[in-house]
Amino acid sequence: MAKKGGIDYSKWDHIEISDDEDETHPNIDNASLFRWRHQARVEREAEEKREREALKHNIDESAKQRQVLQAAAAHAKTLNAPEDAAKKIDAALTEAQKQEEEFRRKEAELERMEREHPKWNVDNISKPGFNKTVVNKGAAATPASSSKSDEEEAQDLRSFIKKNEARIKKYAMYSKLDETHMYLGENLDLVCEDAANYLVIWCLELEMEGKHDLMKRVAHQTILMQYMLQLAKSLNNDPRANVNRFFNKFRVADQPYLDAFQDEWTSFVKRVQDRAKVKIAEAEAEQEAIERQSRLGPGGLDPFEVLETLPAPLREAFESRDMAKLHAALAAMPLEEAKYHVKRCEDSGLWVPSKNTEADEAGAAEDDGAGVEEEGSDEEHYEKVPE
């Protein structure tokens, strides 16, 4: 486990916090955010699937068109077709070839992006771990059969986490090597990719919650687990067969080995911190979108945005909830302008007309400057801007 051959973090570069997780940044409304995030992720994935299918269809169609034109060009040469006709066919063939090449270039670029920047969440971050608890030290690692569908594998992972979450978290709390060794010796089934991946997600959540010291403790145990898995990979055997070997080696490790471990731990902590900042910013943006959606008026306008764009006298009238100021502001405007602003106020929910104001609200601006009838309380006409 040399320093240069350290842990590959690329798998975790694009982690998306699960829709099922019950904790996030303290300033975020969890229930609304996770519902919105789940819907957004499902819609985004469906849209990406449609784009891939459309691209494949375009490639197939352009290939067919190219083949038809190639046949036409060959036929034209055989029949000594007129030069103009042959040139038109050649030009169309050249264009078809360019179009097909462009579609294939886009396909290759999309595949490269998906390969280099996969999006991981609790549904797909790993495949099921080992499904037996008996360890044969002489046998190579034999993962569970991968004949299951993606949904079945995702369900297996969720079941693993649900069943073992408490034990994984207990492992993460140990700070002494001997205690960690003893605990894993009694819980060998936790030495697997599923547990390691859960720890990564938990580190990210802890950092997003501002629990930095706890995150560092969990990060240490995460790297320890990853080192065990890497040892098994290098020996091509079951990681559970190497627990004793790993800890015995770690206890007598030379300084370069320990330095490499420390560097991996520090690097991982930094990556978690950076990723948490991005996820918090995304969560806050999502929360802002949710809040904006929730405060949209009956006509689909945002009361904050409408209020900010009202003429100063009209805005002051709404902010002070002063009916006299409102009448005066409307009376000072041309009729069409008054109608325009009143309609926007209604559509945003700033203005809730009473039964007596459903006629032309701004029409009264010609008489009394009222804008609306004065019957009923002020509450019939104003809606408080959400805070």
CA nearest neighbour of 323 among 368, 355, 290, 286: 368
Distance, C-alpha 10 to centroid of its chain: 16
CA distance 129 to 239: 11
Give one DSSP letter per residue of 20-58, joined into a string: T-----TTS-HHHHHHHHHHHHHHHHHHHHHHHHHHHHH
Spatial contact of 226 and 237, defined as CB atoms under 8 Å apart: no
Give one DSSP letter per residue of 66-106, joined into a string: HHHHHHHHHHHHHTT--HHHHHHHHHHHHHHHHHHHHHHHH
CA distance 347 to 300: 6
Write the CB contacts of 60 (distance below 8 Å, at least 6 apart in sequence): none
CA distance 110 to 27: 36
**Which token pair is 376?**
């009923």
How long is the chain? Answer: 387
Secondary structure tally for the chain: helices H, strands E: 12, 0
Residue 165: predicted pLDDT: 95
Residue 234: predicted pLDDT: 87
Spatial contact of 221 and 180, defined as CB atoms under 8 Å apart: yes
What's the fold here for domain 10-16+121-129+145-295?
Methane Monooxygenase Hydroxylase; Chain G, domain 1 (1.20.58)
pLDDT in tens, 308-324: 888 998 888 888 888 88
Low-confidence ranges of the chain (pLDDT < 50): 1-5, 18-33, 120, 122-145, 358-380, 386
